Structure 1
């Protein structure tokens, strides 16, 4: 009787005599790999920046407690938020809109041969 390579429970190949009547483990009977991810919306936040003279060496001073649906909506609110945050102890105050939220990519994974 000849030997044949068959997948083991760990996904490795092992030798088993051909003609053997044993069933493969239940985990090996279905090779369907699906990735299901909960998609969370992307949103934008604004950071108030404190900068040195000439708008150099900027540092995040605080985050604005608001979320924006789009980058355009965040940028439209920049002047208002800078005006509301003049208490930041830097010579120059700026703001920056940033993308936040989980970003997931769906990929299909194929079983590997070992």
Structure 2
């Protein structure tokens, strides 16, 4: 079973914040939801170039993909 990790997804939203679309996902992976959430303010600061009235960030759970000796990516689980 693979270890779970978390990434920060950055969302561009309408003025009301009701309609949001994912704009990018930061490359850094976090070992826990708490570490990910603590990194949200800095991620928002780094991504002020997103062209929407409101920018939100959310932590998303993911799993790491491991490469075998030949460099082929495997998704264990």
TM-score when normalising by structure 1: 0.55
* 2:57 aligned residue (95, 103, 108): 95
Partner of 2:7: 45
More strand by proportion, 1 or 2?
2
Q: How many pairs are equivalent?
A: 66
- 1:56 alignment counterpart: 18
Instruction: Select the structure of larger CA radius of gyration.
Output: 1
Deviations 1:53-74 (A, max 9, x none): 0212010000011100000000
Counterparts of 1:46 and 1:40, CA distance in 2: 19
Moved over 6 A (4+): none
Can you give the 5+ residue segments of structure 2 that lack an aligned partner in the other structure? Answer: 64-74
> Superposition RMSD on alpha carbons, in Å?
1.4
Q: Using the alignment, how far apart are the partners of 1:103 and 1:75 within structure 2?
A: 26
